[in-house]
Amino acid sequence: MIENKDKNGLDYYKVRNKAWLFLIENNVRSYPLNLQEIADKTNWQIWSYAQYCQFSHRREEDLIASHPDGFTIQNGDRFFICYNQNNYKWRNRFTIAHEFGHIVLHKDITDSKMLEKEANMFASRILMPMVLIKELNISTPETLSKLCDVSIEASTFRMKRYKKIKSRHKFYTNKYEIKLLKQLRDFIKSCNKI
C-alpha cells in the first residue's frame, strides 16, 4: 500500500480507509450520523461530564481544566467517551466523533498532536462523507451543515477539502468508498427527491 504521510507523520490513507470501514461495519444508512446508536452497537458509553462526575466523584471544573472538550477512558474492553455538556451541540458531536476516531485508530490512547489530527480527520469523514457531498451535489457549507448536523466551521473546512478532491477527479477509486456509496444509495435517492 502506498503511504501518504505528511511531514508530521499523519497517515491520510489509513484514516480515510478506517473511517469508511467504520461507517460500513456500523451499517450507517442515513444522515445525520446517529452517534448514540453507534455507541450502543459497539458497547461504548457516552457520558456528559456531569454524568462522569457522579460516577467518579471528580469535580467538573477539574475535567474542564484538563480536557475542555472531551476524553475517552478505557476499562477493560469497554470505552467511556466523556464530553463537556457546556459546549454547544455541534462541538459535542464533533468531540464524540473525534473520540470514536481515537478508539478506532489509536488502541493505546496517548496524547500527541499527530494523533489529535488523525482523530479530527476521522471525525470529519464519518460526520460528513464525501460520497454525500458529491452525490447530493452539495455546494454550500450551510447545506452540508444542515444535512449532517455539524457546525458551519466544520462544514466549511470539509467543503474546501471536497473542492480539492473534485479538481483531481478522485472519487470511487477505493473499494470501501464504493461499498459505502452502495450502502447510502437509498438515503441519497430519498434526498434527491426533495
Range of the domain at 194: 129-194
pLDDT of residue 187: 97
- The reply to whether 86 and 139 lie within a common domain is no
Number of separate domains in the chain = 2
For range 176-193, the mean pLDDT: 94
At residue 129 the predicted structure's pLDDT band, cuts being 50, 70 and 90, is very high
152-154-156 Cα angle (round to 5): 65
Last residue of a domain, one of 86, 112, 127: 127
3-state SS assignment for residue 173: coil
Ranking 5-9, 80-84, 142-146, 151-155 by mean pLDDT, the lowest is 5-9
State yes or no: pLDDT of 5 exceeds 70.
Answer: no
The H-assigned helical ranges of 67-140 are: 89-105, 113-127, 130-135
- The reply to whether 102 and 16 lie within a common domain is yes
- Is there a domain that residue 179 lies in? yes
Please state the pTM of the whole predicted model.
0.91
- The reply to whether 152 and 191 lie within a common domain is yes
- Is there a domain that residue 4 lies in? no
- The reply to whether 120 and 146 lie within a common domain is no
- Is there a domain that residue 5 lies in? no
48-53-57 Cα angle (round to 5): 170
